[in-house]
Amino acid sequence: MSEKSKRTRFTKEFKADAVHLALSESITTAQVARDLGIRTGTLYNWVAKHRAEHLGEGQSSLNDDEREELRRLRQECRILKEEREILKKAAAFFAKESR
């Protein structure tokens, strides 16, 4: 294995510190990554993982209005799918009749 293909392992503390810097500093995540000498995508992945882990199962990133709209849209989608299936069956029935 060549030196370029070796993966660098980072400690949990280093990752936590990097995420803390990326979330709290007034500089961009990309700049934090450059300053620490790590790939930007790597730091973005750590930040995304941190956010997912700390969001909590009981919490949601949606507010009440967004949650209600999501419920309404899911219901509407379900109804539209049912209507589409009915129309497919009707189209097949009438196509068979016209032969």
The ranges assigned to domains in the chain are 8-56, 63-99
Q: Which residues contact 55 (CB under 8 A, 6 or more apart)?
A: 61
Three-state SS at 92: helix
- 8-56 CATH, one of 1.10.8, 3.30.70, 2.60.40, 1.10.10: 1.10.10
* Residue 24: pLDDT band with limits 50, 70, 90: confident
**DSSP label at residue 7:** P
What integer is the mean pLDDT of 50-65? 73
- pTM confidence score: 0.51
Q: Which residues contact 27 (CB under 8 A, 6 or more apart)?
A: 35
Does the pLDDT at position 56 exceed 70?
no
Does the pLDDT at position 7 exceed 90?
no
Residues of the chain above pLDDT 90, percent:
56
**pLDDT for 26:** 81
Residues of the chain above pLDDT 70, percent:
89
